[in-house]
Amino acid sequence: MKAIDMDYDMLLDAARLMESQGGSFAGHIARAFYCADSTNREKLLSAFDDLFCKYYRQHRLYELNQGE
């Protein structure tokens, strides 16, 4: 899955985890995502696809493990 294909709620889940569990760089990218307009959000998602995908996968794993 590519970050550009995620819906806004999925991206927010990834950004929140990036901010709370990621390093300083990931946290700054998350905060930029919160403030970005649609054009700049698309640029962030394209440039940092790996970060958004990684943290969304971590978020989903956490959610799935909570269901057990």
| Arithmetic mean of pLDDT, 5-10 | 96
State yes or no: pLDDT of 64 exceeds 60: yes
* CB 10 within 8 Å of CB 3: no
Share of the chain above pLDDT 70, in %: 97
pLDDT band for position 68 (cuts 50, 70, 90): low
pTM (global) more than 0.75:
yes
What is the per-residue DSSP string for 12-57?
A: HHHHHHHHHHS-HHHHHHHHHHHH--HHHHHHHHHHTHHHHHHHHH
Q: What is the pLDDT of residue 22?
A: 96
